[in-house]
Amino acid sequence: WLSQADHYNAAVDLLDGNLDLGRGDKTAVRTPEGEWTYGEVAAAANRVGNALSELGVEPENRVLIALPDGVQFATTFFGAVKTGAVPVPVPPSLAPDAYAFLLTDSRAKVAVVDASTALAVRTAVRDLGATRPCRLVVVGETEPVPGESDFAEITAAADDRLEPADTVAEDMAFWLYSSGTTGRPKAVVHLQSHMRFCADAYARPVLGLDESDVTFSVSKLSFAYGLGGGLYLPFAVGATSVLLDAPAQPRMVAEVVRRFRPSVLFGVPTGYANTLAAGSSSSGPADFRGIRVCVSAGESLAGSLLHRWKEATGLDILDGIGATETCHIVISNRLDDIRPDCLGTVVDGYEARVVDEHGEVVPPGTTGTLLVRGGSLAPFYWRQFGLSRQTMTGEWLRTGDVVVEDDSGHFSFLGREDDMLKVGGMWVSPVEIESVLSQDERVAECAVVGVPDRDKLIKPEAFVVLDGVAPSDALSVTLRQQVRQRLGGNKTPRTFHFVSELPRTDAGKVQRSRLREQALL
């Protein structure tokens, strides 16, 4: 691993490094619009870096990126990193007040935005006025606006050679905003060395990722899981990344598999469930045999979904867990050791501990909170030092995930700390109940939350999306019986709410706080 003072620039390593290894003509990015080689992406990133410098961007200045997944995202991200500036990817579909918050909090000097997002960001910049000046660079066709720059114009005029900033391994490289499932977003700071660390600890040894692979990530590049799967992990090994600017929709995975033949799929449980529910694509059945690895993270993967996926496609799913603060996956199943309803074991390069409410390490078999240490952990949240002290506790990061480790070092996920329910004095895991409900083939997806009854005692209630059948009292009775038989009375949901979909964050996680509110209506 790199040491702190090593001269190191992640763009030089992860992008330009491919040219030194003779991959200049190899395809780096493939989209429905075309293909770009590593040589072309590196030259375009240099142009972006030079254009940003022309606009006055200096090392450590933040550059907001509100772009859909595509080659301009890749060149802007690495162009900024190469100059020592700090890219801050955010979703390209937010409202003006969300952009106003992100611009104020990050103090981004420049925002590179898609034409379809420009109006929302422009409104935010106008509302902030002189308090927070930010230069807009617009990608795509728009009417020119005074004081803004056109991406194509400024990058065409820029030099395609760029001297990298003299950064070290511990310089800031990029930020990602994380809102979790509640609360105000906080900027998670990552360092120059972190992307290489994730590639060398996880992608190569666990996935066997190499230059012959073609990756596709359902999670978008503005999220930690997607930024790894869709950009820096494939670039770190000289693989090809398929990037799609469209929002996720049920048939997307099957269409991508049919058209681009990825060998590694970075999916999320909802994406796997939607792909199964949507059946084969209008353009014929997708042939999943070209896929070597299906990865899952982002939320818990029910064992029943793993089995249904295997039955339909012949493929396993490699479940794992990470966090925006860990950069990428730190605990994972292995290709030769896949267990249902299990996160797998700690990835080499990281260590994990399970602790009780006093911070004491608990023995295997005991439920507790997961702490992690290793070489890609965020050092702090920007401008949130109280929260940083609670989360980044010395070398150990408190993830907020509740897990149990068995005698052989395999971890199971039980829920987030805030989502665990105390029923009748006992801690109950919503994930355990959801896993039982998901085994009924009429259940497409579900989420369990704790809701106070009239005596203010917490009781589990289930929100269920059905797969092709109508809701009925008889179905509630059957589902209730299934849980009671498997888990006992205190874990059995008192009420079943049949809904058409579950509320989710932009990152795709179920918003349990909204379900709790809904249950109280």
Q: Which residues bind ligand 3SK (CB under 6 A)?
A: 224-225, 297-298, 321-324, 328-329
Quote the least distance from Cβ 206 to ligand 3SK, whole Å.
12
Quote the least distance from Cβ 437 to ligand 3SK, whole Å.
21
Q: Where are the alpha helices (DSSP H) in 233-290?
A: 233-237, 252-260, 269-278
Per DSSP, the three-state class of 487 is helix
From residue 282, give the alpha-carbon distance in Å to each of 311, 381, 407, 485. 21, 45, 47, 41
Q: Which helix (H) or strand (E) holds 520?
A: helix 512-520
In the bound state with ligand 3SK, the residue whose beta carbon lies nearer, of 233 and 242, is 233
Quote the least distance from Cβ 230 to ligand 3SK, whole Å.
12
Q: What are phi and psi of 418, to 5 degrees?
A: -70, -15
Per DSSP, the three-state class of 62 is strand
In the bound state with ligand 3SK, the residue whose beta carbon lies nearer, of 103 and 352, is 352
Residue nearest to ligand 3SK (CB): 322
Per DSSP, the three-state class of 420 is coil
In the bound state with ligand 3SK, the residue whose beta carbon lies nearer, of 174 and 225, is 225
In the bound state with ligand 3SK, the residue whose beta carbon lies nearer, of 46 and 296, is 296
* Dihedral angle, C-alpha 28, 34, 39, 42, nearest 10 °: -80
Tokens of 388: 């940083």
In the bound state with ligand 3SK, the residue whose beta carbon lies nearer, of 260 and 266, is 266
In the bound state with ligand 3SK, the residue whose beta carbon lies nearer, of 298 and 415, is 298
Q: What SS3 string covers 350-406? A: EEEEEECCCCCECCCCCCEEEEEEECCCCCCECCCHHHHHHHEECCEEEEEEEEEEC
Nearest to 274 by CA among 51, 3, 508, 479: 508
In the bound state with ligand 3SK, the residue whose beta carbon lies nearer, of 218 and 297, is 297
In the bound state with ligand 3SK, the residue whose beta carbon lies nearer, of 9 and 296, is 296
From residue 424, give the alpha-carbon distance in Å to each of 95, 115, 428, 436, 454. 42, 54, 9, 20, 15
Quote the least distance from Cβ 359 to ligand 3SK, whole Å.
23
User: Interior CA angle at 388 toward 225 and 374, to 5°?
Assistant: 55
